[in-house]
Structures are given as structure tokens and as C-alpha cells.
Amino acid sequence: MAIDAPAIVIRAAPRDFSNWGRVRQLILDAFAYMEPRIDPPSSALRLTVPSMQADAGKGALLLAERGGDIVGCVFVRPKDDALYIGKLAVRPDLQGNGIGAKLMEAVRREARARGIKTLELETRIELFENHAAFARMGFVKTAENSHAGFDRTTSIVMRAPV
């Protein structure tokens, strides 16, 4: 008889959260596949404990845990009329197992709790599989952006109703 893996638990990082290094490494691991594909490099490479704390302080850091191990995360914060989603990451060896979907369910609950009716995120123009994945979650492209110093589109903005 096989033993099932522990359930995924989604929770907001507490005020006294101390595992910033684990969150940073999770994001770097999950975003590593992007390195040879995107230009400019991902802002994930510039993450620091103070920058992550500041981002979480503007909204929340939602964590996916399994057996006490952090296996996914997402930062959210109010932005204009939307709840902005940043650095959605799932441990690479666990991707495709519904953890990202559970995090997105938690994002939607967070938006509803804040009385926000729209979600917004940005994804790099080169990452077509991300565009498709977010489209399956109800997101549609609403804008294109260029990073400073670039004369071409480098990212797209996508929005979805809560």
C-alpha cells in the first residue's frame, strides 16, 4: 500500500516569518529555466531579504507547504483596482501537481477578502507557456510593456476577474 504525500497547506507568512532564504531559493530554482530565454534578466536575481519583506509588507506572501517544507509561494499586493500577483513559484520537481492552482485559489480568496475584483500579473514576452497557463486560469492580455533601455516589448500585463 502506497503512502500518500502530505497535503499541501496554503497560508500567509506570519509577521515573524524567518525563512526568507528558503523563499528566495525556491523562486530562483523555479525561475532558473528562464535565464537563457529572457532579456533583461529576471528581477528574481536581485531579491534580497529586505526587498522581499518590503514586498510582503505591501500585501502578503502566501506559502504552499507540504510536511513543513515550503514548496510554493506568491507575493500579492493591491495595485490600483487590482490585486497584483508577483513571483508565483513552485518547486521545479513538484510543478504540474496543482500547487500553483492552489496558490491561485488562495490569491483569489485574498482578493475577495480585500474587496478587490480583479487580478493582475506581468509575464515575460518570451514565456509563451506562461501566457497559455495564465489564459487557462482566466487571464487575458491587457497591455505590453518594455523594460528601461529596451525598444521592444519585454513583458505583457494580464488581468482576470476574481
Q: Is residue 136 part of a domain?
A: yes
Averaged pLDDT, 28-54: 96
3-state helix, strand, coil in the chain (%, to 5): 35, 30, 35
> What is the rounded CA–CA span in Å between residue 75 and residue 88?
7
> What is the rounded CA–CA span in Å between residue 55 and residue 67?
26
Q: Is residue 73 part of a domain?
A: yes
Please give the tally of structural domains in the chain: 1
Q: In this predicted structure, which of 8-12, 77-81, 108-112, 120-124 has the lowest mean pLDDT? A: 8-12
CB 129 within 8 A of CB 100: no
CATH number at residue 67: 3.40.630.30
Does the pLDDT of residue 2 top 80, yes or no?
Answer: no
Domain range for 73 is 8-161
Helix (H, G, I), strand (E, B) or coil at 53: helix
Instruction: Identify the band that residue 125 occupies on the pLDDT scale cut at 50, 70 and 90.
Output: very high
